[in-house]
Structure formats: structure tokens, C-alpha cells
Chain A
Amino acid sequence: MFQAAKQTSKIQRHDKDDETLHVENGSTSYRLSLYDQPPLYDVTVEEFETSALDRLRILAEIESSAARNRTMEETKQMTIIQCGKYLPLNSNSASGVDIQAERRKDQLGHFVLRLAFCRSAELRRRFVKAEGTLFRIRYETDDSKERAAFLSSKDFNWISVDADEKEKYEAQLSHFVSNKTDPNAFKNETFYKVRWSTIPDLVEKRKVFLKGGFAYVPGREQASIIYAAFEERLEAALLATSRAIPLVDEETRLNPILDNLAQGFTAGVPSDWVGSGETTGEGITADMVDSLAKQHFPLCMRVLHQNLRKDHHMKHFGRLHYGLFLKVLGLSIDEAIAFWRKSFAGGPGADKFDKEYRYNIRHSFGLEGRRMNYPAKNCLQLHTAHEAGCPYRQLENSPENLQSALLSSYSAQGLTVDDLPEIMSQVRKKAYHVACTRVFEITHPRQVRKGDGLGDGESVTHPNQYAAKSIELEKEAKEPKMEVDN
């Protein structure tokens, strides 16, 4: 067991070079890891952040799987797909991949997230649960030889039941042997003994023999002990880290990153959605925005659009959020100026348009000032926005308003009063992105089924991702499919 203080001191900024962090160690002999050795080597701030964000993407999907009542098998399939994209982790036998780099990223991401998630009991609980599920999925899919080697390298606090004891309880233990027709089955079965309270799920299902507070676990149920040990150790490590966190807090540069990560769990993964003009928003003109909004926009942007049409005006943050959203959607600078000029016509700000707002629009396209090409705001940023943010969050405490906004925006696409309780219950759980994802599913019934999210089980994490997927699905539906259905 490592010391918390020691552990946190290992992530320090290099004085010589402020772009790298000094991190040591990192055990990478096996694909599976109990994360009992904090990594100690130099990483860039970018590496620090991306390793954590990519892992968080997976964990947030696992969490929303639970919120959406996916089965373990569905969660597993979804996680395997997502891990393939963002966090590949190959076995020792894999060729043509940099196994060490994969494992380094896996370790680093885990330990960075520990720092972000150790800060409250609630975050710790959720982190342990999601990490536990990820571990379980990897354990189940691991190469059996490598898994055995990994297991024998660790101490799981189990006691092997020796021959004498096995004989003493033969009558009872033989009940738990899987194949009763094989006369040697009992002889060949190995049993382990652990305190019953460490494996409550096996006890509950009477899958183990109980004696004197110990559960006698047949070899094939070994995995349950390992999952329990993984979660128990992680919980203890997080608690230790949380006590030592003031030490890390001095590293002020990391704090905003850590804060952001912790919030990412509720918001889904903060991602910058880079819309590719070729596939989705090709040639979008100012005139098209009205109909696009009705068919493809998430509630946040629907609400902004409706307000703009109603008021012929929009305050700073609304312009910022909506403007960037439209830019990434594919509205060119000229079309954007045309769109905004038309929208403001007859409103209170019409006369200021050319003087002030035009500049701002050009600025947001990177054509003025610092010439930055600003990305559109993601769900996480919209959650924390005070104005023009995520309506699921901002209207959480006035459910009637939220419900009527949902109905007026989406009833044309098939959302009914009957869908509201489910959406509202996610809102009450503060799972805003789950609520939004569910609305997407309901309004695209021909293309996605419940639980599919935006496809492949992905949840909404960015308004542009929502809109782009919606447009993409519509295009697919219109184009005749070439492949044969099976």
C-alpha cells in the first residue's frame, strides 16, 4: 500500500520546463492493472489532459449506461467499441501497436482522474463504480493466459482452502462443483476463503458455502473476489488521496483541469466538436436555419433560436453560444452575417448591427482581433453557463416550463406527454445529457432504438454533435442503402 502523501508528491511540475510534468514509474507488464503503482515519468500538460479526457469519455458512457438501464452485455459491447476508439489497450501478443504507450496512457488517465474524483464521497462512489465496471469488462475480455499471470502476480487477501479443510466440508462444498457427473470434479476444484462481506453478491445468490463468517468460493467464481478487491482498494486509495489533496492544490495550474474533469461526469465528456463541412453542414445558408432548427437542433439551441425569432434580439451570451454553434454547423461568414442581420431587423439592436455585432461575428470566425478560430461551446460549458445555457439544467426547478418547452419544440417529431416522466426523472437525477440523449432517441425513432443514443450508444456531449448526427441520420435515410440486410 502506498502512502498518499508520497503518491501525490510524485506529480510535480518540472521547474526547468513548464510544459512538462514529472511523473515516475508505471507498471505495464500486464494489460490489466489494479493501479497500485502511480506512474512516475515526464508528461506534457496536454498528455495529462487528453489521457484523462479520453478515459472520462469511457467512464461517462458506462455511467449513462446504468442510468439508461442497459444490460451488462449491452454496456460491455458499447464499452468495447468506445475503448477501441479512445482508449485501446491490447494484450502482450498484439503486434503492430505500441503496447507500452497504450498502457502508459491507461495508467496516466486513471491517476489523473483519481485526483479529480477523490474530492467528495459522491464523486468517489461514482468513480469506483464506473472504474469497477471498466475493469470487469477488460477482465472478461482478457487473454486467459495473461490473466492468469496477472492474478498470480497479485495478493487478493484470499486464503486457499487446504486439503484437510476441503475434506472436512466435502459434503457441503461438493454442492458448488459445477460438473457433478465428473467423478473427479470435486478433487479438481480449487476453493478460496474470504470474509463473506467482501463478496455480498455471491452470498446473496447462495453461490458460495458460508461457515463462520467466511465464504468458500469455488475457483470459477474467483472473478467476483477480484472485482470486489479492485473496488475496495480503489475506494481506500481515493480516500487517502482526498486527504492529501491540499498538496496537489498548490499545483494551481492543474486545478482548472481537475475541476473540469469532475464536472465532466455529469455533463458527459467535454468534447470540442469539429464539424466536418463535407459530411454534414455542407452549404448551409441563412434561409435554411429555420427548418434545420425544427428538425435537428438540441433543446438548448432550439430555445435560443425561438427566442431570437420572438425578440429580434439576443444578448451577448446567447449570440456567442448560438453564433458559434451555427458556425460549426457550417454557416459561412457571409451567411452568418446575413442570418444575424435579418434576425435583428426590426428589433431593438438593429441600428447597432453594422457597428458592433458585425465585428463580433467576424471575430468569432477568427477574422478579427486575435484571429482565433473559436470552438463552439460543449455541454459542460453550457451547464455552467449562467445565461443561454443548458435548458435541462436551467429549468430543472421549474419542471412545467421545461415540459412545455419540450412539447412545443419536439411534438412535431413525435415526442408526447407520455415521454415526459422518463425525461424528467433523468433531469431530477441531474443526468441532463441522458435526458437530452433520450429526446434524440424519441425524435429519431426510425433511425435509433432506445439505448442507442446518437448511434453506437454514444451520449450527447455537444450541441453540434447532436445536430450533426441528426442531419447525418436523415441523409442516410434518404439515400438508398447499398448493402443487403441480414
Chain B
Amino acid sequence: MTPSSDKEDVDPTSEQVLLTFYRRLYPFKQLFKWLNRGPERTEKELRLFPYREFAYTLRNQAYLRYNSYPSDIEMKKHVCLLTPSRFEIGPVYSAQPKDKKTVRSTHFKAEKREVVFDIDMTDYDPIRTCCSEADICKRCWGFIAVAVQVLDKAIRDQFGYNQLLWVYSGRRGIHLWISDKEAFELTDDQRKAMVEYLTVVKNGKEPGKQVNSRFASKDLPPTLKEACQTINESFDELILQDQNCFGSKEGYETLLSLIPDAKVVSRLREKWSDNPGSPSYIKWDEMKDEIKTLEQPARRVMRNAMEDILLQYAYPRLDAEVSKHRNHLLKAPFCIHPKTGRICVPVDPRHVAEFDPAKVPTIGQLLAELDAAGSSNSGREHRDDWQKTSLKPYIDMFDQYANSVQEKQTKMDLSW
């Protein structure tokens, strides 16, 4: 990695920067391979890539919907002409989106798309203590890391899907694309069922109980018990040590509001108000000690409450609306975030905890790497220029993912 001295000066929204990026770095070929779910077809047997919508946000903030292309080559040409600041991927329609105006509306329906999920750091504002709103740091990435671990496991294990692509959103969130054939073809009702099933925390700005995990006072469903175990592995480090969520009066009051046993609450409040700044892990242990003194059924009620607290603090907070409808648009992988200049790169869920958003390549850094690598043909398009930059591991990962989607599709075709 070659840090560039003029990296800060590069404007991620300038036409010249975007043009160079789209011409020399953006992985259109891999994008095509992924979205077309197989090699280029000579016949129109599979109407995939050409029936897919792309929507552009232009540099003047104009929004262009219903673009579509026969292949990546035409798409790249058009993108280089428009140099949008970013673009989004929509569904596969029953007709080519570019013909939307000429086909009857009853013949233009969103038919298929990957199942997508969006987790945004702002939904963690009521609990995170290090940053707020648009900011994100290595510390609050811990929430995203746990969310990815929980959701990735649930989807693979419970829904049986394997073609999962996690993509950093460029600033404060992460997207998931699920490309398995069954997922690709789910109806809106099925998508809604899936996201409601996976939704436990009702998003809201107010503190207080936001968890909907069980029927009345029944036990947690077995799958949420598993989620609790995953969360428990990080709870101590993330919530108690690093975020120190209960290290202030406001923080511990939120915790107390989640405890249903009035006697426990009053004893703890008395103890903690003497020393409101005591570390969270001490408070947590004090709460556990209180629980140990309880008899059944009060003890069972408190055990349940503790599970719900784990979920409230670290269960993935999903933006459900994104996932419910096939026609929702979601930013494409490898776009540049216009504010941070960072590339929306894929993230390996097995190493999500080590991922540092601050180390994601920026467009300024990449352009400098391009300059350094090829002074001879500087500025001219060259095959696989991205190989010489720090984008390489990410595009390799994306390429492998596209291959996995493709292989499955081909196999299925043969078996039919």
C-alpha cells in the first residue's frame, strides 16, 4: 500500500476522478458475471442482466432510473459517459427496464432479485457511546461485527443459503446480498416473512425495551438462544469493556429500565447512585449477584430479561424496509462513498471483527497507486489495472463470489 501525499486533495465527486475510476478500476466484468448468474448467453434463454435495473445518482444529484444494458460492455460505456457519483442495483423485471415507457405497465413487474439486508450504525445511536450519527470508528464497528456474525450464521444455518456477499457501505454500515437461487426468486411476502423472522430489535431513538423476542414470558425460540450465545461471546468485550455502556447514570438507568423485578432495580439503583461511574463489568456482575439471590419464578423472569438485554444491546438492527420488496434499490458494491471517498468493498464475514473501516482504500489512494504503478501508460485504460492497486484482494474476493453464484446456476441448468 502506497500512501499518497496528495490523497486528501482528491475530490471523490469530480468528473475526472470518477471517469478514471470507472475506466480503469471498477470491476464491471465481475459485476456482470455475478448478476447474470452464469456465462453470457447467446440465446435469450435466461433474461437476467439485460432485464436488470441500474439507477444513477449523477454528480448534480439528479437521479436516473430504469437503465439497463445487454452486457457489461455497454454498461461501462454509459457509466463512463455519465460519470455518476454512485449507482444502485434494482431487480430483474419482466421486461427490459430501458423500455419501461413503451411496455404496458402490467407487463413491467419486478420479478427477481437477491435478498438484501442493510445494517446502519445510526440505528445503534441509543446504545453506542463512542460516536453518533454519521461517524464510525474501529470501536463502534464492533457492533457491526457482532451483527454480521449473528446474521451470517442464522441465514446459513437456518435458511440454508450459502451465497452471501457482505459489502461495506463506505461509511457507517454494511449490506448483505444473498444470491442463492431460492432467495433470488422469493416473493415479497416471503421476503417480508424472512426479515420479520430475523427482526428482534424494533428500531427507535428512545432508550427502553425494544426487543420482541418471545411470546409472553415463554422461553426464547431455540434459534434466538443460539444468537444469544454468539452475542455472549462478544458482550463482555464490546458492551462492558469497550463501549462501557453502563458506565454513566444515563447508561445504567437504561439497563435498569430493562429489569422487570422492582426490588432488584431499587437495590441496584441504590448501590450504583453512590458511584455512577463504576465500570460496566462491575455493575453487570453486581446484577448477576442479585439474580443469584432470587427464588423461582422471579429468578427465571430475570434470566429471560438478561437474554433480552443481550439481544437489545447486540442483536443485528435491521432496516426492514430495504429487505421486504423486490423493487428496492441498493447501492452497488465497489461504488465510491461521496463523503469519505472510500470504496464499498466486500467483507469476509469470518474476519469481520478484524475489519477496520479506516483502512479501506480511498479513491485518492487508489489513483496514487495507479500513477505509481504505470507511469508509462499513465491515464490510459489498461486491462486489469486494478491488479496493481490495493483494490486487488477485494476484487478477487468479489470474483470468487461471482464464480460461486455462476457455478451453482450452471449445475442447476444441467440437472434440469
Residues of A within 8 A of B (CB): 120-122, 171-172, 175, 195-197, 200-201, 203-204, 206, 209-214
- A206 contacts B197, CB within 8 Å? yes
A selection of 25 A-B contacts at a CB cut-off of 8 Å is: A120-B106, A121-B106, A122-B106, A172-B223, A175-B219, A175-B221, A197-B182, A200-B189, A200-B190, A200-B192, A203-B193, A203-B197, A204-B193, A204-B196, A204-B197, A209-B221, A209-B222, A209-B223, A211-B157, A212-B158, A212-B160, A213-B158, A213-B160, A213-B161, A214-B160
Chain A residue with the shortest CB-CB distance to B222: A172
> Which B residues are in CB contact (< 8 Å) with A196?
159
Chain B contacts with A in 119-170, Cβ cutoff 8 A: 157-161
Choice from B106, B161, B192 contacting A204 with Cβ under 8 Å: B192
> Which B residues are in CB contact (< 8 Å) with A204?
192-193, 196-197
Chain A residue with the shortest CB-CB distance to B226: A172
Given contacts A121-B106, A196-B159, A210 and B193 within 8 Å (CB-CB): no
> Which B residues are in CB contact (< 8 Å) with A122?
106
> Which A residues are in CB contact (< 8 Å) with B219?
175
Cβ proximity bits B173-215 to A, threshold 8 Å, 1 near / 0 not: 0000000001000100110111011000000000000000000
Given contacts A200-B189, A204-B193, A204-B197, A213 and B222 within 8 Å (CB-CB): no
Complex alpha-carbon distance, A215 and B158, angstroms: 9
B95 vs chain A, min Cβ distance (A): 14
Task: Give the interface size class of chain B.
Answer: 10 to 19
Chain B residue with the shortest CB-CB distance to A209: B222
> Which B residues are in CB contact (< 8 Å) with A213?
158-161, 182
The A contact surface, by secondary structure, is: helix
> Which A residues are in CB contact (< 8 Å) with B196?
204
> Which A residues are in CB contact (< 8 Å) with B182?
195, 197, 213
B38 vs chain A, min Cβ distance (A): 22
Complex alpha-carbon distance, A209 and B224, angstroms: 11
- A197 contacts B190, CB within 8 Å? yes
A238 vs chain B, min Cβ distance (A): 16
> Which A residues are in CB contact (< 8 Å) with B161?
213
Complex alpha-carbon distance, A407 and B190, angstroms: 43
- B157 contacts A203, CB within 8 Å? no
Starting from the known contacts A211-B157, A211-B160, 9 additional A-B residue pairs (CB-CB under 8 Å) come to A172-B222, A200-B190, A203-B193, A204-B192, A204-B196, A204-B197, A206-B197, A206-B221, A213-B161
A435 vs chain B, min Cβ distance (A): 24
Chain A residue with the shortest CB-CB distance to B214: A206
- B160 contacts A200, CB within 8 Å? no
- A201 contacts B222, CB within 8 Å? no
B308 vs chain A, min Cβ distance (A): 15
> Which B residues are in CB contact (< 8 Å) with A175?
219, 221-222
- B193 contacts A200, CB within 8 Å? yes
Given contacts A175-B219, A197-B186, A210 and B192 within 8 Å (CB-CB): no
A62 vs chain B, min Cβ distance (A): 19
B313 vs chain A, min Cβ distance (A): 21
> Which A residues are in CB contact (< 8 Å) with B159?
196, 210, 213
Complex alpha-carbon distance, A172 and B220, angstroms: 10
B111 vs chain A, min Cβ distance (A): 12
Complex alpha-carbon distance, A381 and B379, angstroms: 72
Complex alpha-carbon distance, A172 and B226, angstroms: 10
Chain B residue with the shortest CB-CB distance to A204: B193
Complex alpha-carbon distance, A211 and B160, angstroms: 7
Chain B residue with the shortest CB-CB distance to A122: B106
Choice from A120, A171, A197, A212 contacting B157 with Cβ under 8 Å: A212
> Which A residues are in CB contact (< 8 Å) with B197?
203-204, 206, 210
B272 vs chain A, min Cβ distance (A): 35
Chain A residue with the shortest CB-CB distance to B160: A213
Which of B106, B186, B221: most chain A Cβ within 10 A?
A: B221
Chain B contacts with A in 299-346, Cβ cutoff 8 A: none
> Which A residues are in CB contact (< 8 Å) with B189?
200
Complex alpha-carbon distance, A175 and B221, angstroms: 7
> Which A residues are in CB contact (< 8 Å) with B190?
197, 200
Complex alpha-carbon distance, A210 and B194, angstroms: 11
B185 vs chain A, min Cβ distance (A): 9
B254 vs chain A, min Cβ distance (A): 26
B349 vs chain A, min Cβ distance (A): 18
Which of A122, A195, A196, A214: most chain B Cβ within 10 A?
A: A196
> Which A residues are in CB contact (< 8 Å) with B223?
172, 206, 209-210
Complex alpha-carbon distance, A122 and B222, angstroms: 39
Chain A residue with the shortest CB-CB distance to B200: A206
Chain B residue with the shortest CB-CB distance to A200: B193
- A201 contacts B158, CB within 8 Å? no
B296 vs chain A, min Cβ distance (A): 15
List of 3 A-B pairs having minimum Cβ-Cβ separation, nearest first: A213-B160, A200-B193, A172-B222
A244 vs chain B, min Cβ distance (A): 21
Chain A residue with the shortest CB-CB distance to B158: A210
Chain B residue with the shortest CB-CB distance to A169: B222
Chain B residue with the shortest CB-CB distance to A172: B222
Chain B contacts with A in 203-258, Cβ cutoff 8 A: 219, 221-223
> Which B residues are in CB contact (< 8 Å) with A212?
157-158, 160
> Which A residues are in CB contact (< 8 Å) with B186?
197
Chain B residue with the shortest CB-CB distance to A175: B222
B318 vs chain A, min Cβ distance (A): 14
A121 vs chain B, min Cβ distance (A): 7
Complex alpha-carbon distance, A122 and B196, angstroms: 26
> Which A residues are in CB contact (< 8 Å) with B157?
211-212
Complex alpha-carbon distance, A198 and B182, angstroms: 11
Complex alpha-carbon distance, A200 and B189, angstroms: 7
Complex alpha-carbon distance, A206 and B193, angstroms: 9
> Which B residues are in CB contact (< 8 Å) with A201?
193
A196 vs chain B, min Cβ distance (A): 7
A346 vs chain B, min Cβ distance (A): 50
B143 vs chain A, min Cβ distance (A): 24
Which of A122, A201, A206: most chain B Cβ within 10 A?
A: A206
Chain A residue with the shortest CB-CB distance to B186: A197
A228 vs chain B, min Cβ distance (A): 11
A293 vs chain B, min Cβ distance (A): 40
A142 vs chain B, min Cβ distance (A): 26
A219 vs chain B, min Cβ distance (A): 18
B325 vs chain A, min Cβ distance (A): 14
Complex alpha-carbon distance, A208 and B159, angstroms: 12
Complex alpha-carbon distance, A252 and B86, angstroms: 56
- A203 contacts B160, CB within 8 Å? no
Complex alpha-carbon distance, A431 and B185, angstroms: 31
Cβ proximity bits B388-406 to A, threshold 8 Å, 1 near / 0 not: 0000000000000000000
Complex alpha-carbon distance, A200 and B192, angstroms: 8
Complex alpha-carbon distance, A148 and B44, angstroms: 48
> Which B residues are in CB contact (< 8 Å) with A200?
189-190, 192-194
> Which B residues are in CB contact (< 8 Å) with A209?
221-223
Complex alpha-carbon distance, A415 and B160, angstroms: 56
Chain A residue with the shortest CB-CB distance to B213: A206
Complex alpha-carbon distance, A480 and B335, angstroms: 77
> Which A residues are in CB contact (< 8 Å) with B221?
175, 206, 209
> Which B residues are in CB contact (< 8 Å) with A214?
160
